[in-house]
Each structure stands twice: as structure tokens, then as C-alpha cells.
Structure 1
Amino acid sequence: MSSSTTAPKSSPVPDAGPVSLCAREPRVPADRLVAEMVPPPRFDSVRFATYIPDPGQPSQTEAVQVLEGFAAGLGGAPAKGAGRRGLFGFGRSKAPKAPAGPRGVYLDGGYGVGKTHLLASLWHAAPADASRKAFGTFVELTNLVGALGFQQTVQTLSGHSLLCIDEFELDDPGDTVLVSTLLGKLVEAGVALAATSNTLPGKLGEGRFAAADFLREIQGLSAHFRALRIDGEDYRHRGLPEAPAPLPDEEVTKTAFATEGASLDDFAGLLEHLARVHPSRYGALTDGVRAVCLTGVRPVPDQSTALRLVVLADRLYDREVPVLASGLPFDRLFSEEMLNGGYRKKYFRAISRLTALARDAKGLVGG
């Protein structure tokens, strides 16, 4: 008999398969919240020069010109009492005096006209070092206050020359008072403001809560901004074919297992999970995910769930994560009542962005 032995065959390492977003409950430390206040990946390389205005919408060209001038007026470090120097029309007085005009610019327009592109372009064009300018969504800003506390947030952001706030919305009275007070403090410290929204600053909160009871705070917010209206069609779907139809569950599942870095979740289960994760953590929820696969898409059951889904759609769009789904098409996610209510612009933005991500996911099938 031979004394030689045969080494045992190693068992193949099983394919881990797709991850589940429902299995994740991210915790985001405060220092990461501050460090990540920069334009998200989709808008990391945008500039004013890469914004292509619609020739039929002169307000788009005007917006670029105004924002370029605004950025040019942001040179120099903010100083104590700098908030008393007017930025419009972009000059600085030598002696402190009462503000001549708004301390910021507010981009108002429908979904898909490129407001976030322009806001990120302003951030990139501002001459300050990246550590002295901040970019974040409204929900990320309010969460920063929750993580750091009000006074620490004021102290952290007061050294900045520019604060850009994307998707500025007031959904409840608490946010109204909080943000009004915060922005007032930052303006006093010399921080310039820029924001995007689908709602004019004087109309914030309208149709969502008793905005008339908080009129003073809303008017105070409005006074910080020069509103700049941007008209136009949704560029995400301008001249493009219809979004792909939803696939069968089996095809979505097969694609999830065949796609490196994909996640796979039942839509109803994911909606339930979102209720257990703060919306400010939805970005962290998708860390490392290269494609989101969902089975059984159906209409969202209520407005609270719908608003959480809107935030997730925004974070997926920001991070350029394609979405492959079975069930109903995304334009049937929200009821007619929702689409005619106070949050209708948010819902249409979510439909627009999810449809664009569904189009991006076409290349995953059969890959």
C-alpha cells in the first residue's frame, strides 16, 4: 500500500448572494455626518459648464448667470459680524451696516429642471476650501442638529462660507422653528445660504400643517433668500423612451444573484423596515450596494410610508444605484389622493427618479 495520502478536496465557497437592506440598521456617527456634507456621487463632477439650459426656457440660462455671480462674491473668509455684509449684488461693504438684501439664493422649480445640478455647481465654484462649505439635504441638516445639538451645530457651521441645502421642505412645525432659528444664527455669523425646493419660500409648509400658525418663522426663512424661479420640463425623461416594464419576480431574483453587490428585498418588507431606520440613515443603508432589486412593488399604504420612500429614492438617485423591480410600475406607487395633496411634488420627483433608475437597471438583466 502506498503511504501517500490524498489531501481532502476543499469545499467550494458558497456564493453569498445578494444582501438584504432589511437586515441593515446603520448607525452613523456625528463626525461622519459632518464629513459627508459634500455633493453626492451623482453630482460630484457637475459644474456650471456641464449644465445644458433648455433654449426654450430663458430662466435656466438666467439661473446659471446669477449663481456664477453669487459664487464670485463668496471670496474671502467670513469674519465676526460678516452676516451684516450683503451678497446681492455680490459686493462687500467695508463698514458693518444693516443687510441690504437676502443672504442667500433659493432655487424654486418643478422636479427635473436641474436644481440640484446647479446647487452642486455652486458648491464646486465657491472659492472656499471644501472644509469651509457644506452641502446636504434638508433632512440631513435637521438630523445633524439632532446628533450634535443646536449650539454645536451652529458652532460647527458658523465657520463656513457657504451652506447649500437641497430639497428644502417644511413638513412639520418643529422643523419650521428649528430651521428658522438655525439659519438666522448662521446668517448672523456670515454664512451665505443656497437652497433648492419645489415650493416658494413663502409657501413652505402649505397644505401640510397649520402653516398660518407659524407665519412669522416662515416669513423669517423667506427673508434670508432671493427666490430664483427655474422653469422647464423634467430633463430625466426629455426625449427618452418609456421606462422598462416591471419584470417577473423570478427574473428580478435571478438578476440579483447574478449581479455583484446587489441587494434583494420584498417591497412590502422594505417599507416596513424603513419605518425602523431614521431617514437620515438611508444613505448609509445603501453603502456598498451597486443595484437594488425589489420584488412585489405595490402602492404605498399611507402618507408616512410614502414620504420615507421618497427619501430612499432620493438617496438611491444621488448614489446612482439602479433599481430593478417586479410588480407595479413606479408611476402607480402613490394614490391619486397623494398626488393631489400637499406633498405631490415630492411624489412626482420620486416617480421621476425611480423611473430613471429603472432605466439604468435594464443593462443588468441577462448580464
Structure 2
Amino acid sequence: MSPTNTVPEPEGPIAGAADAAAGPVALTARAPHVPADRLVAELVPPPRFGTARFDTYIPDPAQPSQTEAVKVLGDFATRLGGAAPAAGRRRWFRREPARPAGNGPRGVYLDGGYGVGKTHLLASLWHATPAPPERKAFGTFVELTNLVGALGFQQTVRTLGEHRLLCIDEFELDDPGDTVLVSSLLSRLVESGVALAATSNTLPGKLGEGRFAAADFLREIQGLSAHFRTVRIDGEDYRHRGLPEAPPPCTDEQVTAVARRVPGASLDHFPALLDHLSTVHPSRYGAMCDGVRTVCLTGVEPVPDQSTALRLVVLADRLYDREVPVLASGVPFGDLFSAEMLRGGYRKKYFRAISRLTALARDARHLVGP
């Protein structure tokens, strides 16, 4: 893994990996403090995508849009290589933003369903853009709003305004307040000459309806829409393409035995973990998992309400980013969210969480043995 993807260890008793001889740790015992400078340092592709490159993306032969997306993004990275960095503060109030060398858009938007490789391609763009790591940033929409909350709007503009590229994964279209905040931030960054790239999800069942997510995205960013080229990526969820069915849940005894045997494991009762998540800001969920190599959960049950469900989505994203297998007893992950939730406004997040947790459950199954 490249040094640009090294995550600083948190201070205090949660640093380091769990020791098998000492028994599993409990995520419910962790409430880390995350300083603002760590939030900035972590604006790089997560460990799962630390080695992502355009030539490691495997397009589905049945989906030509995937091959075309690689070409479009590669060309975009090449043009960014010829763009002079903006002068930061001096460009803030200029009407005409700096542009990459050659003709082309200021930004790209990757439009497609979950599991078609959008994050892999976005991370590949970050790696391919010829600029030092400190001059390009990669983060989820949630991480970006957390950064604004930690630094304040003006300081975030100053911090990111010197960058060549900002990549935003999973742009959220369902929170009007945060969307307006980020849209305003992006407007200021474009004035500084920062190039933009973003993804969000088309919902399952909507893939045949054309530019569903793209139309929503371009509407929400309003005045910035002219700067973006939409890149459509069709296909099925690669996390489950051609793979066996998701493994059935384990027993409580199996989960507990693995947690006590495997170095770096955590062990928590699922309802207690959900309660604990309400006491920790979502921006700290990544730090809460530092040093944990396997998450073991007993008594998984459907989440009781939407606020709890959204917190669980963030935890699932952080575990997936860090490639932490999840071994669980109780109900299958496909039953975490109610039918009403899966029909509601946050359904794309819930489908993504189910997809990612299922993949992590598959990664953990070998720990149980035959």
C-alpha cells in the first residue's frame, strides 16, 4: 500500500490492533476523538482502493459503457496534467474559473447503479492525475460535510482551494441542507480552479430509465451543472457477479469462538452496537475501527428506525473501505431494513449497505471453517 493511504493511529487506549490473547475488543467501548487535521489527511482513496488503477478495472464485456468510461476518465486525467494549479485565494472572486489544458469539462459525473465500479474508477482518476497527493482530495459526500463541520466553511475553502482535483464519492441527493452546503462549496472551489469528479447511485430498477440520477445530480448542483460531463456506467453489481449466494448467518457460539481465536477481532452484541453508534459522531466511525481486522456481531436484527439505519450505513461504508470482514449471527443482512425503508427516500443507501455487508460476510465465512 502506498504511503499516501496510511491512516494515522488514534491517540489513547484504542491505538493498535486487538490482541487475541487478551480477547476481542468491543467497538462499544470506543469513542475516539478525531482531530480536524486527521480528517484532512484521510482525504485519499481508502485502503480498499489504494491500488485501484484504470488497468485493474475489469469491464464487463456485455457493458460497453464501462470500457468507454475508462477512456473518458483517462483523457480527463491527461488534461488535468496540463493544467496549472490555481492561485488559491487570488482566484476566489474571479468570474471565469481556470480550465484544464485543452477543451473539455471542469468536472465529470459517474452515473450508474451500485456495484458497477464507480468508486474504483473515481480512485483510479485520483491516482492517475499527475499532482502530488497533498494537491488532490478524495472523500465521500459525508466525509466532505464532516470536514466543513470541523473546519468551518471558509477554512475548508482555503484548505481545498489549492487542490488540483476533488473527488466526491456517493454524492447524496436526499438531504437538501447538506446538498446546498456542498454545492456552495464546490462553486467556490471551481472559482479557485479545482477540477471536480463525483459519483452517486441510480436505484435498482431505474437503470433502464435513462439519466435518472444524472438529472437529479445536475439539478441539485444548479449553476455548476454546465461544468460536468455525465459518464454513464451500466452493469450489475460486481460484488456478487458470478459468486455463490451470501452465506447464512452463523450461531452466536460460532461468532464468539471466532472472535476469541482470531487476532484483531472485535465482538459486540448488535443492538448494543446500534445504541453506541448514536453516541459517536459518524465522522469518527472510521477511527472507531482502527486496528480491527474482523468485526464479529451477535444477535443481528432489523434496525428499529431510520436514524439508526442511516448510522449503520455509515459504519458499513467505513468497514467496506477498510476491507474488514464481518461475521454475524441473527438475521441475514438482507433483512436489516424494512420494506418501508427500502421504498423510501434513503433506499439507495440501504441497498448499498446490504450489498457491501454481504460482500464482507462472504469474506469472513472462511474463519468459521467447514
> TM-score w.r.t. structure 1 length?
0.87
Residue type of the alignment partner of 1:91: G
From 213, 216, 220, the counterpart of 1:203: 216
Q: Which residue of 2 aligns with 1:329?
A: 332
User: Shift of the alpha carbon at 1:14?
Assistant: 10
Contact 1:297–1:326, Cα closer than 8 Å, also in 2: yes
User: Shift of the alpha carbon at 1:86?
Assistant: 3.8
1:33 aligns with 2:33: no
Residue type of the alignment partner of 2:118: K
1:52 aligns with 2:63: no
Q: Which residue of 2 aligns with 1:250?
A: 253
Residues 52-86 of structure 1 deviation map (CA, whole Å, 9 limit, x = unaligned): 10111111011000000000011243134496244
1:279-294 correspondence runs (5 A): 279-294=282-297
Q: Which residue of 2 aligns with 1:95?
A: none
Distance (Å, rounded) in 1 between the aligned partners of 2:227 and 2:329: 45
Q: Cα–Cα, structure 1 residues 68 and 220, in superposed 2: closer, same or farther, change >3 Å? A: same
Q: Which residue of 2 aligns with 1:71?
A: 77
Contact 1:104–1:192, Cα closer than 8 Å, also in 2: yes
Q: Which segments of structure 1 move beyond 4 Å, counting only runs of 4 or more?
A: none
User: Shift of the alpha carbon at 1:171?
Assistant: 3.2
Query: Would you say how many aligned residue pairs link Structure 1 and Structure 2?
Result: 335
Residue type of the alignment partner of 2:169: D
Q: Which residue of 2 aligns with 1:98?
A: none
From 168, 172, 176, the counterpart of 2:171: 168
SS, match of residue 32 in structure 1:
helix
Q: Which residue of 2 aligns with 1:232?
A: 235
1:1-367 correspondence runs (5 A): 15-75=21-81, 76-80=83-87, 81=91, 84-87=97-100, 91=102, 102-199=105-202, 200-204=213-217, 218-366=221-369
Residues 283-308 of structure 1 deviation map (CA, whole Å, 9 limit, x = unaligned): 11100000000001111111111111
Q: Which residue of 1 aligns with 2:7?
A: none
Residue type of the alignment partner of 2:292: V
User: Shift of the alpha carbon at 1:366?
Assistant: 4.4
User: Shift of the alpha carbon at 1:342?
Assistant: 1.7
User: Shift of the alpha carbon at 1:339?
Assistant: 1.1
| Runs of at least 5 residues in structure 2 that lack an aligned partner in the other structure | 1-18, 203-212
Contact 1:39–1:135, Cα closer than 8 Å, also in 2: yes
User: Shift of the alpha carbon at 1:319?
Assistant: 0.3
Q: CA RMSD in A?
A: 2.0
Q: Which residue of 2 aligns with 1:96?
A: none
Distance (Å, rounded) in 2 between the aligned partners of 1:220 and 1:49: 34
Residues 305-336 of structure 1 deviation map (CA, whole Å, 9 limit, x = unaligned): 11111111111011000000000011111111
Contact 2:99–2:193, Cα closer than 8 Å, also in 1: no
Distance (Å, rounded) in 2 between the aligned partners of 1:160 and 1:15: 45
Residues 100-122 of structure 1 deviation map (CA, whole Å, 9 limit, x = unaligned): x7421011111100000000000
Contact 1:119–1:194, Cα closer than 8 Å, also in 2: yes
Contact 1:201–1:218, Cα closer than 8 Å, also in 2: no
Residue type of the alignment partner of 1:157: L
Distance (Å, rounded) in 2 between the aligned partners of 1:288 and 1:14: 12
Q: Which structure would you say has the larger Rg?
A: 1
Distance (Å, rounded) in 2 between the aligned partners of 1:27 and 1:140: 15
Contact 1:201–1:222, Cα closer than 8 Å, also in 2: no
| Runs of at least 5 residues in structure 1 that lack an aligned partner in the other structure | 1-12, 93-100, 206-214
Distance (Å, rounded) in 1 between the aligned partners of 2:183 and 2:271: 36
Higher relative contact order (CA 8 A, sep 6+): 2
User: Shift of the alpha carbon at 1:201?
Assistant: 4.4
